[in-house]
Amino acid sequence: MKIKKLLLMLSMLGLVSSLFSQTPGSGNKSYKLTDDVGDSITAVNDPTQWEIGTFVGDSQFGQIKLFSEADLDAITNSNGTATGRSGLFAITGVEWIFNEDTSKQEYTASSAKLEPVEDLGDFVGAPLVANVNAGQHPGTKTVGINFWLQIDTSKSSNVYIEVWFRESANEPQWERCMAISGFIDELGWNPATSSHDLVVAHTKSQSGGAGWVDTFWDAGTEKPNFKGENCEIRVMAIYPKRDSNSGTFLPAEQQGSGWDGYEVELGDQFVLTGDPQVNLAHPDYGPDAGPANDYFLSYIQQNNIVRQGTANIDGKNFPVYSLTSDDFQAVTGVAGTAGNYAFSGLNETTDQFGNITYECIIAKVSLQL
């Protein structure tokens, strides 16, 4: 397999997986770049030197330091670009070059930018992943992934991890990467594997839930013959889900995003044909909605039935699958014709007397022209 380039995307859930390397004492702060991009300052001299400015912490933008006007004057060689300036800045774009004479890495003059930032206080909300990079390790079929991960430590002590792959940006269907490794941390985290494909990445430490992450995908195992130059990696970090009644965490097999890897806006759109909807049925439990729902999803996966597109029904998007007549009978318990069917999932309905019932249905659809 040859992967020359991996383009990485960010998920609304937050992206990615694990070896959490934190800077001690950096805390778990949230920062925002100021609105005026013209406020950035070019760092003629190395702004990361410990004797210049006060280190505050790390962020998705880079290292955060508090600089006085004198500090900025030293960084800019008194060229006047920082006159009257001071405050919190993110250090971005630092470049280094190896000096063979001294055998040391040296700062490349004027390579870094100082971006003024605002301190928004403690980080809260969905997992945040930024600065994602990936590439094939030379001479191997292993893909290394590196990124910034930040979690709301007041909300959860763990995050569940999913890694996805697709061949290009035009491909609507992502594939789940299962051969993920490298969930190790040197700063006291407690990673644990709950199942083969779902991993509890981290537990909370006293220094906060933010840091750089490294993990690895054994692409040679899952994609031994694949070659591509415009591949994409997408990784999600998801807080654990709890039972709505007991408040206890759900088992590992019920955790995760629940996403089927399909990009609705890129795929085909289908519309209802007007044929009657049909209830799904479990071979043993009949039309009982819960087992029927689980059985259908299991049947789709085990028989490698690929999603064909999406049907928008009453403002909601539902996945569409192509079923043979045998498939139809297997999931409904009744005879039917082959075709494309939209799967509505588990639906709750209330009749005129207030009685609540549940049903799981499929509806025949055709390609929207």
The closest alpha carbon to 34, from 132, 139, 97, 117, belongs to 117
CA distance 324 to 309: 16
SS3 percent helix, strand, coil of the chain, rounded to 5, is 10, 45, 45
pLDDT of residue 188: 31
pLDDT at position 160: 76
d(CA 223, CA 195): 21
Residue 279 CB contacts under 8 Å (≥ 6 apart), including other chains: 287, 292, 332, 359, 360, 361
CB 205 within 8 A of CB 151: no
The reported pLDDT for the residue numbered 119 is: 94
Q: How far apart are CA 64 and CA 97, in angstroms?
A: 22
pLDDT band at 359 (very low <50, low <70, confident <90, very high): confident
Residue listed under structure tokens 């949230």: 30
Structure tokens at 363: 């509806």
134-143, 150-159, 184-193: least confident range: 184-193
- Is residue 182 scored above 60 in pLDDT? yes
Phi then psi for residue 13, to 5 deg, are: -80, -15
Residue 252 confidence (pLDDT): 66
pLDDT tier, 74 (very low <50, low <70, confident <90, very high otherwise): very high
pLDDT band of 115, cuts 50, 70, 90: very high
Output the pLDDT for position 52.
94
d(CA 231, CA 167): 5
Q: What is the pTM of this model?
A: 0.71
**Higher local confidence (pLDDT), 203 or 365:** 365
How high is the pLDDT of residue 37? 64
The mean per-residue pLDDT over the stretch 161-167 comes to 86
- Rounded to an integer, the average pLDDT of 169-186 is 76
pLDDT-based confidence at residue 309 (cuts at 50, 70, 90): very high
Separation of alpha carbons 148 and 57, rounded Å:
13
Q: Token digits for 81?
A: 């670009």
Residues near 181 by beta carbon (within 8 Å), at least 6 away in sequence: 215, 216, 218
Tens of pLDDT, residue by residue over 210-268, are: 777 778 889 999 998 888 888 898 888 888 788 888 888 777 667 778 888 999 999 99
